Amino acid sequence: MTRRRWIADEVTGNTAALVGEHAAHLARVLRAEVGQEFDIATGDEVRRGTITFVSYDRVDFALDAKPHRKLRSLPAAAPKITLALAIFKFDRMEWAIEKCTEIGVARIIPVIARRTDAHLATASVKRHERWLRIVRQAAEQSRRVAPPEVASPVKLKELDGVLPTGALTRVVLAESEEDTRLADVLHSRPGEVVLAVGPEGGWASGELSWFFEEGWVAASLGETILRAETAAIVATALALEEYA
């Protein structure tokens, strides 16, 4: 039987802990007890942890001295995937965040686009803490060793300032005159990938002009029109598959 995996909030030597709401879920919902064993991700390895203390805001573990499982590193050619996701209706957007986390996205940057509703743009700042919880829960469910980074919401013209440094393949999902498919773009441009997915209705024409001026490449996912959350998941999966 596969043990449930938890991502530790604190690690010191051969001890680890979950704290706050993270601990409350294990203590209250799953009714954790002293002596239960779980897999604990500690950043660079997975170790077997035995519960030594339980309260509603803290669960402590004693960790085995030896790693339970060494983490497999990605092949040298496999890039990290950054998803620049325009903010749209929160229920559907958060479903995309959850599923892209399960697939393996490394970083998510919420973007306030021209077609983002004003009330969503305003509320997105306070929504950030919820997004952090969603990716942590999804990472644990899918047995990742760490959740993806989730940046604070930014306006489109601020996007380049929060992108990772180094060689990047920057792709905006949009209809292009050449109708270049995403897989073809990625195949010809190895390296770390940034995917920009627009809101419902797509990126506005002025926003597309900005992308092109900044050196982004346009690509499509085919002839069908996908919802924003579907496009985000498909694009992430295609990018990961291309470099698998």
What share of the chain has pLDDT > 90, as a percent?
Answer: 63
Residue with the larger pLDDT of the pair 177 and 132: 132
Residue 158 CB partners (closer than 8 Å, separation 6+): none
Residue 244 has pLDDT above 70, yes or no: no
Q: Residue 78 has what pLDDT?
A: 47
Measured distance CA(200)–CA(88) in Å, rounded: 7
Domains and CATH numbers, the chain: 5-70 (2.40.240.20), 81-242 (3.40.1280.10)
- Taking phi first (over 0 means left), then psi (-120 to 50 degrees means alpha), and beta for anything else, what does residue 31 get? left
Mean pLDDT of 140-167: 90
Residues ≥6 apart with Cβ < 8 Å to 121: 87, 112, 153
Average pLDDT over residues 49-66: 92
pLDDT, position 158: 95
Question: Does residue 167 surpass a pLDDT of 80?
Answer: no
pLDDT in tens, 189-198: 767 899 999 9
Q: CB within 8 A of 177, min separation 6: which ones? A: none
Q: What is the pLDDT of residues 58-92, one digit of tens each?
A: 999 999 987 755 544 433 344 689 999 999 999 99
Q: What is the pLDDT of residue 165?
A: 81
3 state SS of 135: helix
Residue 13 pLDDT exceeds 60 = yes
* Per-residue model confidence (pLDDT) at position 79: 60
Flag whether pLDDT at 243 surpasses 50: yes
Q: What is the mean pLDDT of residues 136-164?
A: 92
Task: Please state the rounded mean pLDDT for residues 16-44.
Answer: 89
Strand pairing class (58-63; 45-55)? antiparallel
pLDDT confidence of 131, banded at 50, 70, 90? very high
SS3 30: coil
- Return d(Cα 37, Cα 20) in angstroms, integer: 20
Q: What is the pLDDT of residue 2?
A: 66
CB 127, CB 86: distance < 8 Å: no
Q: What is the mean pLDDT of the chain?
A: 88
pLDDT value of residue 143 = 86
Per-residue pLDDT for 179 more than 90?
Answer: no
User: According to the model, what pLDDT value does residue 190 have?
Assistant: 66
Q: How far is the C-alpha of 6 from the C-alpha of 143, rounded, in Å?
A: 8
CA distance linking residue 236 with residue 221, whole number of Å: 11
